[in-house]
Every structure is written in structure tokens, then in C-alpha cells.
Amino acid sequence: YEKNTTEVAAAVKKIAAAGAQAVIMVSNTAASAEFLKQSRAAGTLAQYVTLSVTDGPQVAKRIGNDVAKGLALTQVVPDPNSRSTPIIREINENFEKFKPKDVTLNHTFIEGYLGAKILAEGLRRAGQNPSRQKLRDALEGIRNYDIGGQYVDFSPGNHVGMSYVDITILNKEGKKLSKRDADTNMLDYRDKGFPPEAVFNYIALLGWGFSGDRDVFSRAEMVQVFRIETIGKAGYKLDA
């Protein structure tokens, strides 16, 4: 399709004819929304994945939650709710302090904040009276810069900066899929027929890992191999 437009009909037709099982969209929010809307209308059931330049909630707002649900979005910054990450705590604290109007604290906001913070660091390193060349040299000289639990690296041949990658999926409400969207009461899993041993192993392995290549234990075996020292420092997140 033609870049910076929403003229996607021809592309949608080709994708539908190909019977693709998955489609990666390199498009902005408006084009991604139109791709998904027309594809679903054409009966295409492929898994659509788009880059972080697409704002997932905005897609849902444009075409409706029911059409947008299931859209996967690659993310290059941590989850805005992941307060275990120092930079996310900083952003949340500043967001609550300044309370910007009509602004949503989402992945797009986090990406912009980090970009601004890296730019400010480049200007600081460029010194007084920074020129375009001085700023470029300063940015390319950044190595292993701790921006708050995430590290930034640049060089003359590497302008990527961060290597963080994650994937989020929109739920039926047009929001990021959460563990809250599934059953959160252990009794629900029992009533659905999950064996007690499976639930036990699932809970036990949250935040704790066994050094061997194994993830199923009896209770007696778990007691024997468990060591407090092997509990992960980062901690797990269970929305229950």
C-alpha cells in the first residue's frame, strides 16, 4: 500500500487470496486499523502483528474493540505498569506529579519519554554550544548507559540504542491482554478439571527456578530440591 495513506484495499485482497496465517504490518496507527478492519470484513482470520509505532488502544477506538481484539503489537519499552523497573517507577511518579491532561500512560508515552531522556543525555555530553555534529558524536559515544534498569548503547554503526522487545495483545476491551482476562481464582482451575499437581507446580515455579532442565515435580521432590537462594530477584507478577 502507499505509505502514509490508508489505501489498503489492494493489499488486503492479496493477503486474503494468499491464505496467510500471520501478517506483519509495517504501518502507522491509521493504516494498521484500516488493514485490520478490512481484513476481518473479508473473512481473513490471520494473526496480525504490528510494530510499536502503532498505538493499540487507538486502533480499538477507530475500528471497535471486537474487531481489534487479538491484534499483537511488538513493544520496544517495558510495560507502563511494571513498577519493578526503576525507569517505569520514575515515569509513573512524574506522571502522577504533573498529571498531563488528555494523555494516556501507555507504551507510546514510555517510548517518547525514553527518547527525550536519551536526547537530554546527549545534549549534556555535547557540552556548551552543541552543534548537530557534536550532538551526533555525543549520542554515538553512549555506552552501557543505565537509563533506569534498561541499558542504552550507541555507536557510529549502531543507532538502535536499546534491545528490549516484548509483545502485547489486545483483549476484547481493546486493552492490553492481562492475566485478569483469564481465571484468577484457583478454584476456577479445579472446577475446570486441572489436576492439583499442575496447579501446584505452576504456583511453585512463579519466581523460583530449578537449575536443571525440569519443571514438573511431586511435592516431596519439590521440598527436596527447593533452595531459598534460587528465588528470582526481579519477582513475578500474578494478577489475582
CA-CA distances (angstroms) from residue 168 to 56, 102, 183? 9, 23, 19
User: Is-contact 162 151, C-beta < 8 A?
Assistant: yes
Binned at pLDDT 50, 70 and 90, residue 187 comes out as low
Q: Residue 80: which of 52, 60, 47, 120 has the closest Cα?
A: 52
For residue 219, what pLDDT band results from cuts at 50, 70 and 90?
confident
Residue 238 has pLDDT above 60, yes or no: no
The mean predicted confidence, pLDDT, of the chain is 86
Q: How far apart are CA 68 and CA 37, in angstroms?
A: 8
For the cut 70, the answer to whether the pLDDT of residue 189 exceeds it is: no
φ/ψ of residue 122, rounded to 5: -65, -40
Residue reference for cell 520496544: 76
CB 58 within 8 A of CB 33: yes
Q: Which residues pair with 75 in a beta bridge?
A: 166
User: Per-residue pLDDT for 66 more than 70?
Assistant: yes
Name, in order, each residue with C-beta under 8 angstroms of 37's C-beta and a sequence gap of 6 or more: 62, 63, 67
> What count of Cα atoms within 13 Å lies in the side-chain half-sphere of residue 153?
6
Instruction: Please tell me the pTM assigned to this model.
Output: 0.66
Number of H helices, E strands in the chain: 10, 7
Higher pLDDT, 219 or 123: 123
pLDDT above 90 covers a percentage of the chain that reads 52
Tell me the CA distances in angstroms from 31 to 42, 47, 68, 155, one per residue in order. 16, 16, 13, 33
Residue 64 Cα distances to 29, 34, 44, angstroms: 14, 11, 17
- What confidence score (pLDDT) does residue 212 get? 58
Average pLDDT over residues 38-48: 91
Contacts of 187 (CB under 8 A, 6+ apart): none
93, amino acid identity: E
* Lowest-confidence region among 74-83, 95-104, 169-178, 229-238: 229-238
Given pLDDT bands bounded at 50, 70 and 90, which one contains residue 240? very low
Q: Considering only 86-90, 95-99, 214-218, 230-234, which range has the smallest mean pLDDT?
A: 230-234
For position 174, what pLDDT does the model report? 85
Q: Which residue has the higher pLDDT, 234 or 217?
A: 217
Q: What is the pLDDT of residue 213?
A: 64
- Where does the pLDDT of residue 67 fall: very low under 50, low under 70, confident under 90, or very high at 90 and above? very high
Eight-class DSSP state of 207: S
Q: At what angle do helices 29-41 and 56-63 cross, to 10 degrees?
A: 50
Round the CA-based radius of gyration of the chain to a whole number and report it.
22
Interior/surface letters 63-97, b for 16+ CB within 10 angstroms, e for the rest? bebebbbbbbbbbbbbbbebeebebbeebbeebee
